[in-house]
Amino acid sequence: MAVQDVKQMKDLVLSMAVDVMNDKKLDDISKYYTADCVTHYADARPDATGLDELRESWGDVFAGFPNFSADLNRVVAEGDKICANFTYKGTHEGEFLGIPPTNKKGQIEGMTMYRMEDGKIAESWVHSDLLGLMQQLGVAPKPGE
Protein backbone atom coordinates (compact mmCIF):
# COMPACT_ATOMS: atom_id res chain seq x y z
CA MET A 1 0.00 0.00 0.00
CA ALA A 2 1.13 3.49 -0.71
CA VAL A 3 2.02 5.93 2.04
CA GLN A 4 -1.13 7.97 1.36
CA ASP A 5 -3.25 4.94 2.32
CA VAL A 6 -2.00 4.93 5.95
CA LYS A 7 -5.02 6.91 7.20
CA GLN A 8 -7.38 4.58 5.35
CA MET A 9 -5.66 1.54 6.90
CA LYS A 10 -5.91 3.02 10.40
CA ASP A 11 -9.58 3.88 9.85
CA LEU A 12 -10.27 0.31 8.72
CA VAL A 13 -8.72 -1.16 11.89
CA LEU A 14 -10.62 1.31 14.07
CA SER A 15 -13.92 0.48 12.33
CA MET A 16 -13.21 -3.25 12.63
CA ALA A 17 -12.53 -2.87 16.35
CA VAL A 18 -15.86 -1.11 16.86
CA ASP A 19 -17.99 -3.36 14.62
CA VAL A 20 -16.44 -6.76 15.30
CA MET A 21 -14.84 -6.55 18.75
CA ASN A 22 -17.22 -4.21 20.54
CA ASP A 23 -20.51 -4.52 18.67
CA LYS A 24 -19.91 -8.25 18.03
CA LYS A 25 -21.06 -8.03 14.39
CA LEU A 26 -19.49 -11.29 13.24
CA ASP A 27 -21.22 -11.03 9.85
CA ASP A 28 -19.26 -7.82 9.22
CA ILE A 29 -15.89 -9.61 9.34
CA SER A 30 -15.92 -9.94 5.54
CA LYS A 31 -15.97 -6.12 5.28
CA TYR A 32 -12.57 -5.97 6.96
CA TYR A 33 -10.76 -9.23 6.16
CA THR A 34 -9.86 -10.98 2.90
CA ALA A 35 -11.59 -14.31 2.22
CA ASP A 36 -8.31 -16.19 2.74
CA CYS A 37 -7.14 -14.24 5.79
CA VAL A 38 -4.93 -15.90 8.38
CA THR A 39 -4.84 -14.94 12.06
CA HIS A 40 -1.87 -16.24 14.05
CA TYR A 41 -2.34 -16.42 17.83
CA ALA A 42 0.70 -16.35 20.12
CA ASP A 43 -1.35 -17.98 22.89
CA ALA A 44 -3.08 -21.35 23.24
CA ARG A 45 -5.52 -20.87 20.37
CA PRO A 46 -4.94 -22.42 16.95
CA ASP A 47 -4.49 -20.12 13.95
CA ALA A 48 -7.70 -19.08 12.22
CA THR A 49 -7.64 -19.46 8.44
CA GLY A 50 -10.42 -17.89 6.43
CA LEU A 51 -13.48 -15.91 7.43
CA ASP A 52 -15.43 -18.82 8.96
CA GLU A 53 -12.61 -19.79 11.34
CA LEU A 54 -12.09 -16.15 12.28
CA ARG A 55 -15.82 -15.78 13.04
CA GLU A 56 -15.66 -18.96 15.13
CA SER A 57 -12.62 -17.69 17.02
CA TRP A 58 -14.32 -14.39 17.89
CA GLY A 59 -17.54 -16.27 18.67
CA ASP A 60 -15.62 -18.32 21.26
CA VAL A 61 -14.36 -15.12 22.90
CA PHE A 62 -17.85 -13.61 23.00
CA ALA A 63 -19.36 -16.86 24.38
CA GLY A 64 -16.83 -16.82 27.23
CA PHE A 65 -17.03 -13.06 27.79
CA PRO A 66 -20.47 -11.79 26.69
CA ASN A 67 -19.62 -8.22 27.73
CA PHE A 68 -16.20 -8.29 26.02
CA SER A 69 -14.90 -4.92 24.89
CA ALA A 70 -11.72 -3.64 23.31
CA ASP A 71 -10.26 -0.17 23.67
CA LEU A 72 -7.88 0.81 20.89
CA ASN A 73 -5.05 2.65 22.67
CA ARG A 74 -2.66 3.41 19.84
CA VAL A 75 -2.03 2.55 16.21
CA VAL A 76 1.17 2.75 14.19
CA ALA A 77 1.25 2.11 10.44
CA GLU A 78 4.01 1.77 7.90
CA GLY A 79 3.94 0.26 4.44
CA ASP A 80 1.29 -2.48 4.39
CA LYS A 81 1.46 -3.14 8.16
CA ILE A 82 -0.47 -1.73 11.10
CA CYS A 83 0.34 -2.38 14.73
CA ALA A 84 -2.51 -1.79 17.18
CA ASN A 85 -2.39 -1.85 20.98
CA PHE A 86 -5.65 -2.81 22.71
CA THR A 87 -7.00 -3.12 26.24
CA TYR A 88 -9.45 -6.02 26.42
CA LYS A 89 -12.06 -6.25 29.20
CA GLY A 90 -14.85 -8.64 30.09
CA THR A 91 -16.50 -10.90 32.64
CA HIS A 92 -15.92 -14.64 32.28
CA GLU A 93 -19.56 -15.81 32.17
CA GLY A 94 -19.23 -18.70 29.70
CA GLU A 95 -16.77 -21.45 28.81
CA PHE A 96 -13.52 -20.17 27.29
CA LEU A 97 -10.66 -22.42 26.18
CA GLY A 98 -12.30 -25.27 28.06
CA ILE A 99 -12.47 -23.31 31.32
CA PRO A 100 -15.93 -23.15 32.91
CA PRO A 101 -17.26 -19.71 33.87
CA THR A 102 -15.66 -18.09 36.90
CA ASN A 103 -17.85 -14.95 36.79
CA LYS A 104 -14.70 -12.91 37.42
CA LYS A 105 -13.76 -9.75 35.56
CA GLY A 106 -10.55 -9.60 33.59
CA GLN A 107 -8.59 -6.88 31.82
CA ILE A 108 -5.48 -7.44 29.73
CA GLU A 109 -3.33 -5.70 27.15
CA GLY A 110 -2.84 -7.00 23.65
CA MET A 111 -0.97 -6.08 20.51
CA THR A 112 -1.92 -7.10 16.98
CA MET A 113 0.10 -6.61 13.81
CA TYR A 114 -2.06 -6.51 10.67
CA ARG A 115 -0.88 -6.96 7.08
CA MET A 116 -3.11 -5.24 4.57
CA GLU A 117 -3.86 -6.39 1.05
CA ASP A 118 -6.21 -4.64 -1.39
CA GLY A 119 -7.70 -2.51 1.37
CA LYS A 120 -8.47 -5.36 3.77
CA ILE A 121 -6.70 -7.33 6.49
CA ALA A 122 -5.00 -10.36 4.94
CA GLU A 123 -2.93 -11.56 7.88
CA SER A 124 -2.63 -10.74 11.55
CA TRP A 125 -0.45 -11.71 14.47
CA VAL A 126 -2.20 -11.49 17.85
CA HIS A 127 -0.24 -11.22 21.09
CA SER A 128 -2.26 -10.92 24.29
CA ASP A 129 -1.59 -11.52 27.95
CA LEU A 130 -3.54 -14.78 28.18
CA LEU A 131 -1.56 -15.89 31.25
CA GLY A 132 -2.45 -12.63 33.01
CA LEU A 133 -6.11 -13.24 32.17
CA MET A 134 -5.97 -16.80 33.53
CA GLN A 135 -4.39 -15.46 36.74
CA GLN A 136 -7.16 -12.85 37.12
CA LEU A 137 -9.77 -15.56 36.63
CA GLY A 138 -8.10 -17.66 39.34
CA VAL A 139 -7.33 -20.61 37.07
CA ALA A 140 -3.54 -20.09 36.92
CA PRO A 141 -1.21 -19.31 39.82
CA LYS A 142 0.24 -15.87 40.20
CA PRO A 143 4.00 -15.55 40.76
CA GLY A 144 4.88 -16.62 44.28
CA GLU A 145 1.72 -18.65 44.82
Q: pLDDT tens per residue, the chain (145 residues)?
A: 444 488 889 999 999 999 999 999 999 999 999 999 999 999 878 999 999 999 999 999 999 999 999 999 999 999 999 999 999 999 999 999 999 999 999 999 999 999 999 999 999 999 999 999 999 999 999 888 7
Q: Where are the domains of the chain?
A: 3-136
CATH of 3-136, one of 3.10.450.50, 3.40.50.2000, 3.40.309.10, 3.40.50.720: 3.10.450.50
Tell me the pairing of strands 120-128 and 33-41.
parallel
User: What pLDDT score was predicted for residue 2?
Assistant: 47
- pLDDT value at residue 86: 97
Contact between 123 and 38 under an 8 Å Cβ cutoff? The reply is: yes
